[in-house]
Structure 1
Amino acid sequence: MTGPRVGVLALQGDTREHLAALREAGAESFTVRRRGELDAVDALVIPGGESTTMTHLLRELELLEPLRARLAEGMPAYGSCAGMILLASEILDAGAPGRDAAPLKGIDMTVRRNAFGRQVDSFEGDIDFEGLDAPVHAVFIRAPWVERVGPDVRVLGRAADHIVAVRQDKMLATAFHPEMTGDRRIHRLFVDIVAGRA
């Protein structure tokens, strides 16, 4: 029996780490750079990276609107760091006009870019994550946080009193990078969501 087909948006950011984590979590994983590749997957991971650059490339490759459409139709998605920013319905400090991060409107939340500070303010720490049996070691790199969630959004984790992990139906997002640690529980949770087991 094969697992669900999960794509990783491979425009910029830590694609390889997510591909490996998804395979270890029981999914078939593929890179997504073109419309046909997006159409061929059951779900999508949007990795960390730079949200304005990723938006620019989504527009250049004519993927922005097809991706918004797939999300609106209910395709499961998981976003880490920049991926969390892009999955939001509203982005604060989105960047300069014309080079701004565009919300994909997958999760009813307001996210602030680079909320924890610049690259030099990056940090690690253990956080409680709802539904997991032990804390998650979280790596935050120029990380966002969530300032508002809608009524259908479940808060799964907090760091320094800020929301850093959420779920809405088949959408999952974290402000941190679980793909950078050996812990595959969040990827396993997402694969279970895609497969209808969670």
Structure 2
Amino acid sequence: MRIGVLALQGAVTEHIASIEKTGAQGLPIKRVEELDGVEGLIIPGGESTTIGKLMRKYGFIEAIREFSGQGKPIFGTCAGMIVLAKRMAGDEAGHLELMDITVARNAFGRQRESFECDLEIKGIADPVRAVFIRAPLIEEVGPDVEVLTLYKDEIVTARQGHLLACSFHPELTDDYRLHQYFADMVEDSMTANL
């Protein structure tokens, strides 16, 4: 099983290391045609506006929409969640507009307000360590979106079918269980598509 990490910006090598702890193969995705070689895709954190511009420049917007249209799982972390969202708080335009969520950028404040905490995530037995860095949050979800985690009554992890999103950086800890959750989604989708 091969899981790609969009390698335009962000903690690509850390995501690949977490993927490989699950037993899957992690691959950096730098060109559109490389999407054909993976069964799932992670869009990492970074700066969402920059990621969006680079995705447009290199043709990734339509390619990832097509990837999603095939039912292949996509996991957006931090800025990656913003990129996946259908709507942005305020009137800012979205990027991929795939996941039926409304996202507020930098909802937890600036870099100096970064923090770590333990979160209960639906579908994972024990609390997961989460690193929040200039993190967004989910303000609203559509009817098909399942909320997986709340932090102080704010939505920070959600799933809609083959789409998974979180506000934090799961790749920056030694705890790879959220990557395992995603790898299980990828495996399930591969089985369903046989």
Matches within 5 A, 1:2-81: 4-81=1-78
User: 2:53 and 2:8 mapped to 1: Cα distance?
Assistant: 10
Structure with the largest fraction of helix: 2
User: 2:69 and 2:139 mapped to 1: Cα distance?
Assistant: 22
User: 2:59 and 2:84 mapped to 1: Cα distance?
Assistant: 17
Gaps of 5+ in 1: none
Alpha-carbon RMSD across the aligned residues, in angstroms, is 1.6
Could you tell me whether the CA contact under 8 Å between 1:77 and 1:172 is conserved in 2?
yes
* Cα offset, 1:62, TM superposition: 1.5
Q: Which residue is 2:160 aligned to?
A: 168
Deviations 1:48-85 (A, max 9, x none): 10000001111111211111222133221011100111
Percent identity between the two aligned chains: 48
TM-score, normalization by structure 2: 0.93
User: 1:94 and 1:41 mapped to 2: Cα distance?
Assistant: 34
User: 2:188 and 2:109 mapped to 1: Cα distance?
Assistant: 36
Query: Alignment partner of 2:83: what SS?
Result: helix
Runs of 4+ that moved beyond 3 A:
none
Q: Which residue is 2:99 aligned to?
A: 107
Could you tell me whether the CA contact under 8 Å between 1:91 and 1:103 is conserved in 2?
no
User: 1:67 and 1:94 mapped to 2: Cα distance?
Assistant: 23
TM-score, normalization by structure 1: 0.91
Q: State how many pairs are aligned.
A: 190
User: 1:133 and 1:41 mapped to 2: Cα distance?
Assistant: 28
Could you tell me whether the CA contact under 8 Å between 2:61 and 2:95 is conserved in 1?
no
